């Protein structure tokens, strides 16, 4: 499997009146062709900021580390090369399609804008491609729908339209930021099956951000668990879910319905403030496996089993 995207030691700092906010702190992962990587964690863990940092869509932030796209350094790209990469080689599905779509432009125009920017198709070719894209994402009556506005689409249809725009130029990698948020379970299942099918049929890579472990289990090949801007654990989905080697991963799984307990096991406490990063493990104040070393030093990612990496001092105890 060839690697499309490689991220190493990615850090994002926002400078605010209250000081520096370390939204992402030393994150690293890779994505290959035909692979689905899921990034999961509570709200505020840095998932969405990570996606935007990869494509340099953050303004007013200090971004450091290394983002390598097919051998090129994204953080060093000039404006023209970056424009060709965004939308052309890397597509992105944003959260809340009603906010991401332009409410005063018809859906057809929003799809063909991407085709104008990233293909050599003429007007007839762009119209044909737009119809193909609507059919690909399961929107019927394409010719009628191309002339309609976002408010005339249901929530699920707007999400599909966002996916169609992201796929317009046949990108090699798709970044999907919580594409099923606020959708009912039937539409959510349809969207997830669509994304997985596109990966399998087109051979593209997919990074799927979510807070739902069920979505990860159903759709992804590998999972990266984030907490307070840091990576906790990564690995293939099955072994990580069957035998988590980080206390936070274990706590997330324990809070899921259908784990055999009568009551959900809530994670105590609150996520830490990101303007005062912890010297030790960020999860230590909420952790049932807390040891003195957890407060003294930040745990580093290390191999804990074949294909499974964890940043937890209690990884052996969890095993």
Residue 61 pLDDT more than 90?
Answer: yes
d(CA 254, CA 286) in angstroms, rounded, equals 14
pLDDT grade, residue 74 (50/70/90)?
very high
For the segment 222-248, what is each residue's pLDDT rounded down to a tens digit? 999 999 999 999 999 999 999 999 999
Minimum mean pLDDT among 128-132, 193-197, 243-247: which range? 193-197
Tell me the average pLDDT across 36-46: 94
The overall average pLDDT reported for the chain is 92
Residue pair 257/214 in contact (Cβ under 8 Å)? The answer is no
Residue pair 62/30 in contact (Cβ under 8 Å)? The answer is no
Q: Can you give the pLDDT at residue 301?
A: 95
d(CA 288, CA 248) in angstroms, rounded, equals 10
Tell me the average pLDDT across 53-78: 95
For the segment 158-178, what is each residue's pLDDT rounded down to a tens digit? 989 999 999 999 999 999 999
Sheet with 61-69, strands from edge to edge, namely: 19-32, 3-16, 61-69, 72-73
Residue 313 pLDDT more than 90?
Answer: yes
Q: Can you give the pLDDT at residue 102?
A: 94
DSSP-assigned states of every residue in 214-267: HHHHHH-SEEEEEETTEEEEEEEHHHHHHS--SHHHHHHHHTSTTSS-SS--PP
Residue 1 pLDDT more than 70?
Answer: no
Q: CA of 6: how far to CAs of 9, 50, 112, in Å?
A: 10, 13, 30
Beta bridge partners of 308: 235, 305
Residue 260 pLDDT more than 70?
Answer: no
Minimum mean pLDDT among 55-69, 140-154, 180-194, 254-268: which range? 254-268
Whole-number percent of the chain with pLDDT over 70: 98
- Who wins on pLDDT, 292 or 256? 292
Tell me the average pLDDT across 140-158: 93
Q: Can you give the pLDDT at residue 78?
A: 95
φ, ψ at 59 (rounded to 5°): -115, 140
d(CA 97, CA 100) in angstroms, rounded, equals 5
Tell me the average pLDDT across 275-302: 91
Residue 182 pLDDT more than 70?
Answer: no
Q: What domains lie within the chain, and their CATH numbers?
A: 3-33+41-81+211-318 (3.40.50.300)
pLDDT grade, residue 278 (50/70/90)?
confident
Q: Can you give the pLDDT at residue 261?
A: 63
Q: Can you give the pLDDT at residue 262?
A: 67
Max CA separation in the chain (angstroms): 67
Tell me the average pLDDT across 175-184: 84
């Amino acid at each position: 499997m060839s690697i499309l995207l490689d991220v190493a030691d990615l850090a994002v700092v926002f400078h605010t009146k209250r000081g520096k906010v370390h939204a992402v702190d030393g994150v690293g992962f890779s994505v290959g062709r035909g692979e689905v990587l899921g990034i999961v964690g509570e709200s505020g863990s840095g998932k969405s900021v990570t996606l935007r940092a990869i494509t340099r869509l953050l303004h007013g932030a200090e971004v450091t580390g290394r983002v390598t796209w097919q051998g090129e350094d994204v953080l060093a790209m000039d404006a023209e090369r970056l424009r060709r990469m965004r939308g052309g080689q890397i597509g992105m599905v944003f959260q809340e399609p009603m906010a991401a779509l332009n409410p005063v432009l018809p859906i057809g125009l929003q799809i063909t804008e991407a085709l104008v920017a990233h293909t050599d198709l003429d007007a007839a070719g762009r119209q044909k491609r737009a119809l193909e894209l609507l059919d690909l994402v399961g929107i019927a009556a394409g010719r009628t729908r191309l002339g309609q506005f976002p408010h005339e689409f249901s929530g699920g249809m707007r999400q599909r339209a966002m996916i169609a725009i992201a796929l317009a130029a046949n990108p090699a990698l798709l970044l999907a930021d919580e594409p099923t948020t606020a959708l009912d379970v039937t539409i959510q299942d349809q969207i997830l099956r669509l994304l997985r099918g596109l990966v399998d049929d087109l051979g593209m890579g997919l990074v799927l951000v979510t807070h739902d472990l069920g979505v990860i289990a159903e759709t992804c090949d590998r999972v990266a668990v984030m907490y307070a801007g840091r990576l906790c654990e990564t690995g293939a989905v099955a072994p990580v879910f069957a035998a988590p080697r980080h206390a936070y991963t274990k706590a997330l799984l324990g809070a899921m319905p259908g784990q055999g307990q009568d009551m959900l096991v809530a994670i105590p406490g609150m996520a830490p403030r990101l303007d005062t990063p912890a010297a030790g493990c960020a999860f230590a104040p909420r952790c049932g496996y807390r040891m003195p070393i957890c407060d003294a030093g930040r745990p580093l990612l290390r191999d804990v089993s074949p294909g499974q990496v964890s940043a937890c001092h209690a990884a052996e105890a969890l095993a």
